[in-house]
Chains A and B, each alone.
Chain A
Amino acid sequence: MIEIIIKETKEFLRDKSNVFYFLIFPILLVFLLGNLLNNSDMAEEAIGSVRIHYMIETKEPAVILAIEGFVQGVSDQQNILFQKTEDIDLSKELAGNDEIDGVVVFTGHTLETAFPLEIQIYEGTNRIKNRTISAIMNGFSQVNKAVNVIVKNNPQALASSLNDEVDLIIEKDLGINRTMLDYYAITMQVMISFMSIMLGAMCFMGERQDKTIRRLKIAPISQAKLFLSKVLGLLPQIVMQIAIHMATSVLIFGANYASNMLDNLYLFLMFFILTFTIVTIGAVYGLCVNVNPMAVAMPILWTMMFISGTYSKEIFIDGISQFMPVYKVQEAAFDLAIFGRYDKINSVILVCILISIIMLMIGAFVFSRREEQ
């Protein structure tokens, strides 16, 4: 058995296409997309100073005091410049002409009425500065139970605010502040594990193509043992593949998987068992089907991945089905990586072990019965 494992490893490492598809290509993807995603986390431009005119229309002294205190506090920062205005129309015009960045009017609240303080924000032309003003005023509103009313000055900004994203993305709190790369590294590893179906399929199809399978079959070794040796011969490659991907993501691109070493090892274990399971499925495919897995298995896999949901930073992208294996594995991986929970990952490991055993039994049976012409 050890000879077969050594032979499989040598062949794998010496085959340039294998090395590219299973080792270099995933690293390349992490490198390219990792860089891209890391950059997408950064601000596109410096905000600079934000000039805001404000007017207080409310007559409540306590509220006026709170507003003045807030404005004073915020204005102490170098970049946020609040300036009181007496001519609201002029200020609005200045905001429209980009001479100031926005106008805020505090209005509507008296002790006699139950209406909350209303903060009217007249936006300027700069989208990012508008968001900044909105964020500042949100902070005040949260404390003082006020209501923000945003008035768009700029028709272009108004148009761009009709954002479909709201319909597509459901906000979901994933607990920890992470970069996109952290999520991508896990998603990518799941994808690599599923793509290992090629590794399993080619393990027997390659022998058939090289015509060496008949030589193996006439050797005085039981056919079941031969099948197992061939599949187990892929273990070093599986370990290499996962280890290289995880190590590259962490050490070179600074991605985080789980928060501690033990959880990371457990995550590694799950990926290892998952990949081995996929390899056993591929091996049975390679024995039973004589069609290149690139043409059959990969489209099925990609379709499955496409209709599965996935995670990204602070958002969950809803797929067509949440019952796809790809989704279930991702869910389990994120559950451990982010929340440190083991339930789902244990289920995945258990199911994978069961499937592996079944596949190995089917494979050994088929290999023993099948005549190679």
Chain B
Amino acid sequence: MSYVSVDNLVKKYGEFTAVDHISFNVKKGEIFGLLGPNGAGKSTTLNVITTLTDFDKGEVVVDGRDIRQDKKSIKQLIGMVPQDIAIYNHLTAYENVKFFASLYGLRGSKFTKNVTEALEFVGLSDKIKAKPRKMSGGMRRRLNIACGIAHDPQLIVMDEPTVGVDAQSREHILNSIRLLRDRGATVIYTSHYMQEVEEICDRIAILDKGKMIACGTEPELVSMVTDVMSVYVETKIPLGFDREAFCKKTKLMPGVKGIIAEDSLIRVDISIEQNSIERIIQEFINYELPINNIKSEVPNLDTLFLTLTGRELR
């Protein structure tokens, strides 16, 4: 059952169509990624889901409630982690989280517990008295997340939460998002970092110029354009070696779609589904061909985006 349902969503700013008939469903407890270059319509879509922006056409349902008719109760379910760090520089980390949590009506011991837990969750429990301007960029990003999750939201909307952070903080943030999912929250996550989306999202929608060009799990998306991966083997071919016979025999192996041998580099295209790298290596050993270097090239979302739009993702 879908927790968030977006159907034929259209949002225009004057003549410019920011979101053009987008439809997708987000299942409860999954991390759903919105991937696309800048200006693809990711943030506008999130703004609509978080009730910040009204829309021109379509229907958006969250937890079975229409967003236009039940705005207030839907707001109670949502936790927003905006792309820009949205915190008060004159308040301490604790005061920031406490203030935003208080807007959701939390009171008493649960309130204090939630605030403390949110800071622990993002790894800032030792910085509760620190003011944001004394924190590193990564810490500020983590505080930004804590402010969005302290009220225990069912749906967490994260708009590029890792922009401009170091590798360590990024890893921490991505792990936190997985943990939120494991605790039962539904996460909608946008990014233009392909690897990030591939790493943490259960399903992905790819947007470009306001339109949705693909949606599904990563393998489903990749299989939309190809089911072939390439294996490159660097070898040393001895004198008198029957290159043609080797190629002919390898090509007949199950799962092998093609083979090209140029000097010392041999490229073998194989089916992703019937991954047969081991058998290929065995064949090289049988023919007493030394393997100096071997690498495989699996098509990814970038390849998909390139194939569908003719442009690279970034």
Binding site for B on A (CB under 8 A): 3, 7, 10-11, 14-15, 210-212, 214-222, 371-372
In the complex, A220→B51 CA distance in Å?
A: 10
Whether a CB of chain A sits under 8 angstroms from the CB of B195 is no
Residue of A nearest to B85 (CB): A211
Q: Which 7 A-B pairs have the closest CB atoms?
A: A219-B103, A220-B75, A211-B84, A14-B90, A3-B102, A211-B86, A220-B76
Q: Are A210 and B87 in contact (CB under 8 A)?
A: yes
Q: Are A216 and B103 in contact (CB under 8 A)?
A: yes
Most chain B Cβ neighbours within 10 Å, of A10, A220, A222: A220
Collect the chain B residues with CB atoms within 8 Å of residue A15's CB. Answer: 90
In the complex, A216→B80 CA distance in Å?
A: 10
Q: Report the interface size class on chain B.
A: 20 to 34
Q: Are B86 and A212 in contact (CB under 8 A)?
A: yes
In the complex, A147→B281 CA distance in Å?
A: 130
Collect the chain A residues with CB atoms within 8 Å of residue B194's CB. Answer: none
- Other-chain contact of B104, A210, A211, A220, A372 (Cβ < 8 Å): A220
Q: Are B84 and A10 in contact (CB under 8 A)?
A: no
Collect the chain A residues with CB atoms within 8 Å of residue B102's CB. Answer: 3
Collect the chain A residues with CB atoms within 8 Å of residue B8's CB. Answer: none
Binding site for A on B (CB under 8 A): 50-54, 72-73, 75-76, 78, 80, 82, 84-91, 95, 99-100, 102-105, 147-148
Q: Is the interface of B mostly helix, strand, loop or mixed?
A: loop
If A10-B95, A210-B88, A212-B88 touch, whether A217 touches B52 (CB-CB below 8 Å) is yes
- Other-chain contact of A220, B72, B89, B147 (Cβ < 8 Å): B72
A-B contact pairs, 30 of them (CB 8 A): A3-B102, A7-B88, A7-B91, A7-B99, A10-B90, A10-B91, A14-B90, A15-B90, A211-B82, A211-B85, A211-B86, A212-B86, A212-B87, A214-B86, A215-B147, A216-B103, A217-B52, A218-B50, A218-B51, A218-B78, A219-B75, A219-B100, A219-B104, A220-B72, A220-B73, A220-B75, A220-B104, A220-B105, A222-B72, A371-B52
Collect the chain B residues with CB atoms within 8 Å of residue A212's CB. Answer: 86-88
Collect the chain A residues with CB atoms within 8 Å of residue B148's CB. Answer: 215
In the complex, A214→B52 CA distance in Å?
A: 7
Residue of B nearest to A16 (CB): B90
Q: Are A11 and B73 in contact (CB under 8 A)?
A: no
Collect the chain A residues with CB atoms within 8 Å of residue B104's CB. Answer: 219-220
Residue of B nearest to A18 (CB): B90
Q: Quote the shortest CB–CB distance from A304 to chain B (angstroms).
A: 32
Residue of B nearest to A372 (CB): B52
Collect the chain A residues with CB atoms within 8 Å of residue B72's CB. Answer: 220, 222
Q: Are B90 and A214 in contact (CB under 8 A)?
A: no
Collect the chain A residues with CB atoms within 8 Å of residue B147's CB. Answer: 215
Q: Quote the shortest CB–CB distance from A233 to chain B (angstroms).
A: 12
- Other-chain contact of A11, B76, B84, B88 (Cβ < 8 Å): B88
Most chain B Cβ neighbours within 10 Å, of A11, A216, A218, A221: A218
Q: Quote the shortest CB–CB distance from B229 to chain A (angstroms).
A: 42
Most chain A Cβ neighbours within 10 Å, of B85, B103, B148: B103
Collect the chain A residues with CB atoms within 8 Å of residue B90's CB. Answer: 10-11, 14-15
Q: Quote the shortest CB–CB distance from A367 to chain B (angstroms).
A: 13
In the complex, A212→B82 CA distance in Å?
A: 9
Collect the chain B residues with CB atoms within 8 Å of residue A219's CB. Answer: 75, 100, 103-104
In the complex, A164→B85 CA distance in Å?
A: 61
Collect the chain A residues with CB atoms within 8 Å of residue B73's CB. Answer: 220
Q: Are B105 and A214 in contact (CB under 8 A)?
A: no
Collect the chain B residues with CB atoms within 8 Å of residue A215's CB. Answer: 80, 82, 86, 100, 147-148
Residue of A nearest to B78 (CB): A218
Residue of B nearest to A6 (CB): B99
- Other-chain contact of A371, B53, B88, B91 (Cβ < 8 Å): B53
Q: Quote the shortest CB–CB distance from A295 to chain B (angstroms).
A: 23
Q: Are A371 and B87 in contact (CB under 8 A)?
A: no
In the complex, A11→B131 CA distance in Å?
A: 12
In the complex, A355→B183 CA distance in Å?
A: 51
Q: Quote the shortest CB–CB distance from A221 to chain B (angstroms).
A: 6
In the complex, A11→B85 CA distance in Å?
A: 17
Residue of B nearest to A213 (CB): B86
Q: Quote the shortest CB–CB distance from A296 to chain B (angstroms).
A: 25
In the complex, A160→B51 CA distance in Å?
A: 74
Collect the chain A residues with CB atoms within 8 Å of residue B89's CB. Answer: 210
In the complex, A371→B51 CA distance in Å?
A: 10
Collect the chain B residues with CB atoms within 8 Å of residue A10's CB. Answer: 90-91, 95
In the complex, A210→B90 CA distance in Å?
A: 11
Q: Quote the shortest CB–CB distance from A368 to chain B (angstroms).
A: 11
In the complex, A218→B100 CA distance in Å?
A: 11
- Other-chain contact of A218, B80, B85, B91, B95 (Cβ < 8 Å): B80
In the complex, A216→B73 CA distance in Å?
A: 15
Q: Quote the shortest CB–CB distance from A114 to chain B (angstroms).
A: 81
Residue of A nearest to B81 (CB): A215
Beyond A11-B90, A215-B86, A218-B75, 6 extra complex contacts between A and B, CB < 8 Å: A11-B88, A210-B86, A211-B84, A211-B85, A212-B88, A219-B103
Residue of A nearest to B51 (CB): A218
In the complex, A216→B53 CA distance in Å?
A: 14
Q: Quote the shortest CB–CB distance from A317 to chain B (angstroms).
A: 41
Q: Quote the shortest CB–CB distance from B75 to chain A (angstroms).
A: 4
Collect the chain A residues with CB atoms within 8 Å of residue B52's CB. Answer: 214, 217-218, 371-372
If A11-B91, A215-B86 touch, whether A3 touches B99 (CB-CB below 8 Å) is yes
Collect the chain B residues with CB atoms within 8 Å of residue A371's CB. Answer: 52-54
In the complex, A217→B52 CA distance in Å?
A: 7
Q: Quote the shortest CB–CB distance from A209 to chain B (angstroms).
A: 10
Most chain B Cβ neighbours within 10 Å, of A15, A221, A222: A221
Residue of A nearest to B105 (CB): A220
Q: Quote the shortest CB–CB distance from A230 to chain B (angstroms).
A: 12
In the complex, A264→B184 CA distance in Å?
A: 61
Collect the chain A residues with CB atoms within 8 Å of residue B103's CB. Answer: 3, 216, 219-221
Residue of A nearest to B95 (CB): A10
In the complex, A214→B47 CA distance in Å?
A: 9
In the complex, A113→B103 CA distance in Å?
A: 93
Most chain B Cβ neighbours within 10 Å, of A3, A10, A212: A212
